[in-house]
Homo-oligomer: A and B are copies of this chain.
Amino acid sequence: MGDLREPLKDLIECGLPQALEVMGERWSFMILRAGFNGLKHFEEFLSELGIARNILSNRLAKLVEHGILKREPCADDRRKIEYRLTEKGFDLLPAMLALRQWGQKYGTEQVIEDPVLVDERDRLPIGPVSILAHDGRILGHQDLWLTRPADLGHRADGSIATPAAGLGTGDVVDIAAAKAAAR
């Protein structure tokens, strides 16, 4: 497949484009979810997702290529191939859950989650996926600031501080100001 198009990758000032390169594809997250649910074989994914064969083949290959799934021939039946999550794949769980929780919160159709995801220790439902401070406090978007590495640990003193929830474009410090100055 000739990739004449990878504009996303050009904006490599944060990890987002890198993540989207793989997971931004149409079925990637659904396949990942199926993987978390324990599906391993081609035909399982096929009937579970209702995806076209060629697309599934292509997506699985891409996920394997990017190290999110491992492709291994089955021991007992050598026609079968097992697609299993790698550690890299498992590390997508927070992202997937966050997306899922968001979809659930705002989805039009009221989703009655028949099987509920719980903490195995006390069997109580898990809380929302959260952004944590270094000391474990839960942060909201109001609590986030953009700083240069050099300024780490220094409190804002009026001129250095950035009243913006910037998230990694590579813009210097104050994004709004930079934009304003640019015209």
Contacts and interface: CB of A to CB of B under 8 A. Distances in A.
A46 B173 CA distance: 18
A123 interface: yes
Given A115-B146, A133-B121, A106 B91 contact: yes
Given A106-B67, A175-B37, A14 B124 contact: no
A120 interface: yes
Interface string A111-129: 1011111111111111111
Number of identical protomers? 2
Interface residues of A, number: 126
Contacts of A98: 94-95, 98, 129
Closest 9 CB pairs of A and B: A38-B173, A15-B103, A19-B103, A15-B104, A18-B103, A18-B107, A95-B98, A119-B133, A127-B132
